[in-house]
Structure 1
Amino acid sequence: MSRAVHRRYVAFSDAHYAGNLVDGAYSLQLFGDVGTDLSIELDGHEGLFAGYSSVEFLAPVRGGDVVEAEATLVQKGNRSRTVDFELRVVCRGSDDTGRAEVLNPPLIAARARGTAVIPAQATDELPWS
């Protein structure tokens, strides 16, 4: 597997700013979760996240949205993994009454590229490495 996807409803309690906006750290947290999933599926280990080489916040995420976070393997070294991340708003809450609409196409809210590292002892223990 070279890709992992998570979907999540964004609770209104996650919004901290006017207009029910959610902070950018919310996107990065989702990238961490989906990146961990990808590492486990690829290497049988959570991996250790080394950092982002780029992060772009392209559109707002709001309470009441449904978002989809995707991690895609770009490059696999001996222990390092370069991963591209994308966060899409797939449903947008209209207001706080529960009304919402499916966005077609989804709205790209954030993109990033990061590097994860699998510890040496973890790769030594894998039967398929």
Structure 2
Amino acid sequence: MTQASTTTGQGALVEGFSVTHRRYVPHGHAHYGGNLVDGAYGLGLFGDVATELLIHTDGDEGLFAGYRSVDFRAPIQAGDVLAATATLVRIGTRSRELRFEAHVVCRSAPHRGPSAADVLDPPLLAIQATGTVVVPHPTP
């Protein structure tokens, strides 16, 4: 049995608060040779994890204002399992600066068989980014 609770997120508005999503990268997302996936796939994950973080911190999905930096460090491939994390690093009146990381935590191993895969230890850092999101003024 699962319990659900509703909060406005007011208790989580502290620097260092983070949220992580894990997602399998389907083979249908491969766009390039070697089963490579475009970098936008990882940025889409960052948008999703930022949304959840803002729900926890502000009780609102917020809006993405922009990225200050994005560094693609290693390829993402179809068959990977990614862990995308958003961490709150600065709190403004309505803005929130977030640090993002996407790690490959599992990777397919087709040389061993069509469904073989490995857990990566340590995980492989694929993307690092810093971005700003904004939330609306609180309603009275």
Q: Name the residue aligned to 1:55.
A: 70
Distance 2:79 2:68 in 1: 30
Matches within 5 A, 1:1-80: 1=12, 2-80=17-95
Aligned residues: 123
User: Following TM superposition, where does structure 1 have runs of at least 4 consecutive aligned residues deviating by more than 3 angstroms?
Assistant: none
TM-score by length of 2: 0.85
What is residue 104 of structure 1 aligned with on the other side? Answer: 121
- Check the 8 A contact 1:64/1:98 in 2, yes or no: no
Q: Partners of 2:104 and 2:131 in 1: how far apart?
A: 21
Give the drift of 1:98: 1.1
Quote how far apart the aligned CAs of 1:47 are.
0.5
What letter matches 1:57 in structure 2? Answer: F
Cα distance between partner residues in 1 of 2:83 and 2:28: 18
1:113 lines up with 2:123 in the alignment: no
CA drift at 1:124:
2.7
Match of 2:9? Answer: none
Q: Report the residue type matching 2:84 in the other structure.
A: A
* RMSD of aligned Cα (Å): 1.0
| Alpha-carbon distance in structure 2 between the residues aligned to 1:65 and 1:49 | 26
SS of the residue corresponding to residue 19 of structure 1 reads helix
How far apart in 1 are the matches of 2:128 and 2:114?
30
Cα offsets for 1:73-122 (capped at 9, x unmatched): 000111100000000000011127110000000000000000000012xx
Q: Which of the pair is proportionally richer in helix?
A: 1
Q: Flag structure 1 segments of 5+ consecutive residues without an equivalent.
A: none
Q: TM-score, normalised by structure 1?
A: 0.93
Q: Which runs of 5+ in 2 are unaligned?
A: 1-11
